[in-house]
Chains A and B, each alone.
Chain A
């Protein structure tokens, strides 16, 4: 589950990670109040107004701007809130901005130069351990850094039995070229960051940039935080941070009825049991000349109620021109699923206006085909995987 910058920073701060401070505002009036309060608390003169949406590259799309006085705070906040922010990571339509973070200016002049670093904490799938990935090249797209100057990216893997050790934190601070106060600050920052990662059950932290200020403080200026969905049951306080406005509405609805659905751009909807078979079915649709309109795993119990819910979800996407149901019945008997499809179809009256192809294979597959074929409904049936692909081709042409 992805979080907004301000929520990620809240979590970091709760574990003692120093952050660029800020206050959330939903309109320009709130933004001005936030700016005043922030000035009173931090002494900041200028303010940074940052759009809060789930997408990277916000600065490139005009979603992060510096305001040098309260009038500019009001203007900029007014412009950003309500805009459709288009960034390299959003669709062409962009993402609607509902709120901004009014943040302190941390690039103030001082005794030393400011310096930006990159830091992330994530799982190394190859070793099954967490690692800290960091670079002297902060504030840039890390994929570009990896491409052009891979020697400037370092990783530090952590033994889960011991956690991050002090020498590892020191090594990171040394590799980032720090000394004196900034060095000590960085070791504290890294230790607190790793603690926050583990204790919040996160699956990804990306802090870009980590800033060394002109007075040698180390702080997180941005925060991209994802919490492990499987751990939300024991992190209820974070589960409540979910912002449904940032998610695809059909996916939100599907999740509410317990269906695993991902919305795609194609023209053939699909309903499959099992994630691997669902992906394979999407691939087969493409090979048959269509484009998958979704990923949908109905799970083990494909009864009439569930099939009906899945139909309703798939049909919310107006681009769907045909639906392929692909169920491999093991312990679930195919004849039961077939009856479920027939009942769901009948229950839905004339809501289904696109051709349906049903491929049932496994336990009682032939009986299932009979049920479909004798139902009198406009449903095409298939037993072999290839037959299903051929039927998709047929209905699309």
Chain B
């Protein structure tokens, strides 16, 4: 088992013929991901990377049965792409685009709220289920198959964590990059919940950073769930100054409750195995899994 994406996912790429879309779609196909086509308005009817190009997502759903999308559309048009995918009935919408205006995301997240779909991102590395589907921009070879789920706000830090886990002789069920923006579709809690409920996942790594309440919400949910599956946590940004945005638009300390220290405290209080050093994530996973 796995969550969100697997070998049967029928994946389309929005922003298919652009340079980013092309590059990463090629990598995804090379990995063995089931990419069934792509969307670039105005280029419908063409073929790109041996896959059909459609003008609209609706058409892609009709003609090739797409149920999952990955969005590389530029920031100014990305929120529209999310709403188009949701409206066409796509179930999993993974948005890589960084730099979408907040006002656009307020609109898009409100629009899709009561629809039967799940948004992952934006400003995220995507989702990978090793050996089945890479729907993202991560280096596939780092993620070996196994029983550890990963949830993270960051790209390279996810690769780092996966690499550490693999070096301990373990592997990954699914790694979910949830993104570093102030408004994201799938929260830390929702991603952790998906993995805890996945029968194959035996341990979850939860990587957060300063800003917002997502990690605290996830920690509270975890304790209430009564789950016996161990969760290993790390929060980046202990040394970040208050009031400054650290790269990710959402990574900013706003008050006393969204610092790294405060988050780690609440995570520990709710039974999460928190490491202070980012170099010890893999070791801790090995330790808690026995």
Q: Do A and B bind each other?
A: yes
Q: Which residues of A contact B (CB under 8 A)?
A: 123, 125-126, 128-130, 143, 159-161, 198, 201, 203, 228-231, 233-234, 260, 262, 264, 266, 272-287, 291-292, 295, 297, 328-331, 361-363, 384-386, 389
B106 to chain A, nearest CB (A): 5
Report whether A362 and B102 are in contact in the complex, using a CB–CB cutoff of 8 Å.
Answer: no
How far apart sit A283 and B152, CA to CA, in the bound complex (Å)? 17
* Residues B27 and A276 in contact, CB atoms below 8 Å apart: no
B159's partner among A129, A262, A328, A389 (CB-CB below 8 A) is: A328
Interface residues of B in 88-135 (CB under 8 A from A): 99-103, 105-107, 109-110
Q: Distance in Å from the Cβ of B28 to the closest Cβ of chain A?
A: 12
8 contacts between A and B (CB under 8 A): A231-B102, A274-B154, A275-B209, A276-B207, A280-B278, A330-B138, A385-B164, A389-B277
Min CB gap A267→B, angstroms: 12
In the complex, how many angstroms separate the beta carbon of A57 from the nearest chain B beta carbon?
13
User: Do A230 and B249 have beta carbons less than 8 Å apart?
Assistant: yes
Q: Is B44 interfacial (CB 8 A cutoff)?
A: no
In whole angstroms, what is the CA distance A198 to B106 when docked? 11
Closest residue of chain A to B163, judged by CB?
A361
CB pair B248–A276 under 8 Å, yes or no, is yes
Q: A130-B106, A230-B102, A331-B137 are in contact. Are A277 and B154 (CB under 8 A)?
A: yes
Contact (A384, B101) CB under 8 Å given A330-B142, A362-B142, A362-B159:
no
B41 in contact (CB, < 8 A): no
Question: B238 within 8 Å of A by Cβ?
Answer: yes
- In the bound complex, what is the Cα–Cα distance between A245 and B173 (angstroms)? 50
A385, B278: Cβ atoms closer than 8 Å: yes
Bound complex: CA of A193 vs CA of B179, how far in Å?
A: 31
Given A279-B209, A362-B163, A363-B139: A295 and B278 within 8 A (CB)? no
Chain B contacts of A275 at CB under 8 A?
154, 180, 209, 246-248, 251
The 4 lowest CB-CB distance pairs between A and B, nearest first, are: A276-B154, A275-B247, A274-B156, A330-B139
- CB atoms of B240 and A295 under 8 A apart: yes
B 246-260 binary contact with A (CB < 8 Å = 1; else 0): 111111000100001
Least CB distance from A96 to B in Å reads 20
State whether the Cβ of B146 lies closer than 8 Å to any Cβ in chain A: no
Cβ of A276 and Cβ of B110 under 8 Å apart?
Answer: no
Verify A276–B157 contact, CB threshold 8 A: yes
Does the CB pair A230–B180 fall under 8 Å? Answer: no
Residues in B whose Cβ lies below 8 Å from that of A229:
249
A279 touches B246 (CB 8 A): yes
CB neighbours (8 Å) of B141 from chain A are 363
A384 to B109, CA, bound (A): 39
- Determine the residue in chain A with the shortest Cβ distance to B74: A233
- Cβ of B223 within 8 Å of any chain A Cβ, yes or no, is no
- Which of A123, A160, A280, A286 interacts with B157 by CB under 8 Å? A280
Evaluate contact between A201 and B183: CB separation under 8 angstroms.
Answer: no
Given A123-B102, A130-B106, A274-B155: A283 and B237 within 8 A (CB)?
yes
Could you say which residues of chain A place their CB within 8 Å of the CB of B182? 123, 125
The 8 A CB mask of B268-283 against A (1 = contact, 0 = none) is: 0000000011111000
Q: Indicate if the CB atoms of A297 and B247 lie closer than 8 Å.
A: yes
B103 touches A284 (CB 8 A): no
Contact with A along B24-56 (1 / 0, CB 8 A): 000100000000000000000000000000000
Q: In the assembly, what is the distance between CA of A282 and CA of B132, in Å?
A: 35
Q: Chain A's nearest CB lies how many Å from the CB of B99?
A: 5
State whether A228 touches B102 (Cβ < 8 A). yes
A112 to B153, CA, bound (A): 53
Are B75 and A276 closer than 8 Å at their CB atoms?
A: no
B234 contacts chain A at the CB level, 8 A cutoff: yes
Bound CA span A272–B248, Å: 14
Whole-angstrom distance from the CB of B256 to the nearest CB of chain A?
A: 9
